[in-house]
Amino acid sequence: MLVYLGGPIDLAGNKDYRTNLTKALHREGINVFDPKDAFKMIKLDDHMDARRLVEINKQAMLNCTVPVFVMDANVLSVGTPIEIYIAYEANKRSLMVWLSDNDKPIPAYISALVRESDIICSSSLDGDTIDQIVNKLKSMKGLETAYQPPNKRKK
């Protein structure tokens, strides 16, 4: 299983949404593509490099087993809503994590693109929320054959 881990990058400041989630997924034998890594390969002030960045991340997201989008109600993100729309248009089943410490509602234009049952709402990306994400990924309909826990893999 390959998970595309979407979420705010360039406007996220010092908030790190990926490290603990990536570690938890790796412990379960789930591979992760972090689009943040593609930012290291380009010059952000170069228009053509920026276009390449968009294309690299778009192709990775379209080729993954399932995209997981982490959105924080208090962090601006331009790319994540675009990626959610691309996944929706490609008929990709996505998992979205909505982080809000003051019960801000999910914007309608985002919630309309992800199945209600595939949205996890939490006040933080803590251990319990990460466990919910891992368990949801393991049980998502149509992905059971793609996921095999480390102790069940054929050798």
φ, ψ dihedrals at 60, nearest 5°? -65, -45
Convert the pLDDT of each residue in 41-50 to its tens digit: 777 778 888 8
Segment among 7-16, 27-36, 72-81 with least mean pLDDT: 7-16
**CATH number for region 2-145:** 3.40.50.450
**In the structure encoding, which two tokens stand for residue 109, read together?**
């234009």
69 membership: H or E segment, kind and range: strand 66-72
Convert the pLDDT of each residue in 103-155 to its tens digit: 899 999 899 999 998 999 999 999 999 999 999 998 875 665 555 555 555 55
Residue 20 burial by CB count (10 A; 0-12/13-18/19+): exposed, middle or buried? middle
